[in-house]
Amino acid sequence: MLIVTAKMPRRKLALSVAAAALLCCCAVALNFGQAMVSQEVSASVLPNPKGVKSNEDRIAYLSAYGWQVSPQPLASQELLIPTEMDEAYDEYLALQAEQGFDLEEYAGKRVKRYTYEITNYPSGEQGVQANLLLYKNTVIGGEVLSPQLDGFLHGLAMP
């Protein structure tokens, strides 16, 4: 074991400690600033759910999540959001809430569901679909799913 000692006047020692503390504070401030900028960037990357009026707007909305979809919807249906949602809806409501959608706000309202076939699912699986729920010109929900027997269901974000 090697021990090194040095004599240093108290004034220089105090300045050294103050300089080290200032350097640490600057490093923390820079890291905090970087974290705030990256949060703002990731929040601004999400597509705007308002003003989705046409088929092209719906395709652009899905492509903002990274999806390539069929040029025309496979289906479009008018649905009624139930006024009373029992526990059967809990999982689906939680999935929508994770994406920032609140379907309970639209209870009792008629909405349109547009279903598109995804052509670039990462696993290469065929037949994967994306659903968008729209109330007037606003996306109020959506999901990606595989209609296969052992299929899956997840939010709009690319896995």
pLDDT in tens, 95-140: 999 999 999 999 999 999 999 999 999 998 999 999 999 999 999 9
- Same domain membership, residue 67 and residue 21: no
In a domain, residue 84? The reply is yes
- Same domain membership, residue 142 and residue 67: yes
Task: Give exposure, 11-26, as e/b (b: 16+ Cβ within 10 Å).
Answer: eeeeeeeeeeeeeeee
Stretch 59-82: mean pLDDT: 96
pTM of the entire structure? 0.70
- Same domain membership, residue 91 and residue 41: no
Instruction: Give me the domain span that covers residue 19.
Output: 9-45
Using CA atoms, how far apart are residues 37 and 45, in angstroms rounded to an integer?
Answer: 12
Per the structure, the count of domains in the chain is 2
- Same domain membership, residue 142 and residue 88: yes
In a domain, residue 3? The reply is no
Contact between residue 138 and residue 102 where contact means Cβ atoms under 8 Å apart = no
- Same domain membership, residue 39 and residue 19: yes
- Same domain membership, residue 125 and residue 98: yes
- Same domain membership, residue 144 and residue 100: yes
The pLDDT-based confidence of 63 (bands split at 50, 70, 90) is very high
- Tokens representing 108 are 């009792």
In a domain, residue 50? The reply is no
